[in-house]
């Protein structure tokens, strides 16, 4: 989950950088338009725009009259007089004009607003939540499978232990030597042979052993 969160955080940072670069471009364009708009607003109020000689102040009049037309002092004096007259007209005549619209920042993208799938309108936050739910469901399914496998392993182990115990019990019974019982007193070799079942090699061997014992006792 942490890897997924880092992935979305990196995508969001990239989108924010693109948003900031676009805002800078739009702001420069807005400033240029505002400067042109303000210049036209002032120009409309200047007497020079009406082919009228600006009056300005007593000093500007003196400068304009003293210096030759086209000289720097004459141009500066005329420009200042134009501006003074424009301000005077705006203030005394209460000229109302619309200011240039303020710059509007585009909303900064966030995980709750940035759309990652335009066909569905799913935002980055919604996509992250949906992916998280899917991963949790997959983890739960895997956990259930692991628990079922563990239960099956325990049952198989119990069966194995049971079979092992049974095999060990059978093996211990096969390895036990038969207990020797001496023949009754007064038993002869002939009588001993009659007591042993025919066809039993083990019994025949036991009978022979008994004969030897009986003969020795005699």
Tell me how many degrees the CA angle 191-195-197 measures, rounded to the nearest 5: 135
The pLDDT tens digits along the chain (218 residues) read 567 667 777 878 888 888 889 899 999 999 999 999 888 877 777 777 777 778 888 888 888 888 888 888 888 888 888 888 888 877 777 666 778 889 888 888 887 787 777 788 888 788 878 888 888 899 899 999 999 999 999 999 999 999 999 888 888 887 665 565 666 666 555 554 555 555 444 444 555 544 444 454 44
125's CB contacts (< 8 A; 6+ apart) are 110, 111, 112
> pLDDT tens digits for 115-169?
777 788 888 788 878 888 888 899 899 999 999 999 999 999 999 999 999 888 8
pTM summary value? 0.43
The first and second tokens of residue 40, run together, are 């036209």
Position 10 scores a pLDDT of 82
């Amino acid at each position: 989950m942490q890897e997924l969160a880092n992935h979305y955080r990196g995508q969001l940072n990239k989108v924010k950088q693109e948003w900031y670069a676009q805002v800078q471009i739009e702001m420069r364009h807005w400033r240029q338009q505002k400067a042109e708009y303000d210049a036209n607003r002032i120009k409309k109020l200047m007497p020079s725009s009406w082919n009228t000689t600006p009056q300005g102040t007593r000093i500007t009049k003196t400068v304009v009259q003293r210096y030759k037309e086209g000289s720097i002092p004459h141009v500066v004096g005329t420009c200042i007089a134009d501006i003074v007259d424009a301000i005077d007209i705006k203030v005394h005549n209460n000229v109302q004009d619309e200011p240039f619209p303020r710059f509007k920042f585009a909303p900064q993208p966030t995980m709750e607003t940035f759309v990652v799938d335009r066909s569905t309108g799913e935002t980055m936050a919604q996509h992250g939540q949906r992916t998280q739910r899917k991963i949790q469901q997959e983890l739960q399914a895997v956990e259930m499978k692991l628990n079922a496998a563990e239960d099956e392993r325990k049952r198989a182990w119990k069966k194995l232990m049971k079979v092992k115990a049974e095999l060990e019990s059978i093996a211990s019974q096969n390895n036990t030597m038969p207990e020797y019982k001496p023949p009754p007193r007064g038993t002869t070799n002939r009588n001993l042979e009659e007591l042993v079942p025919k066809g039993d090699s083990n019994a025949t061997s036991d009978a022979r052993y008994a004969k030897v014992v009986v003969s020795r006792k005699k």
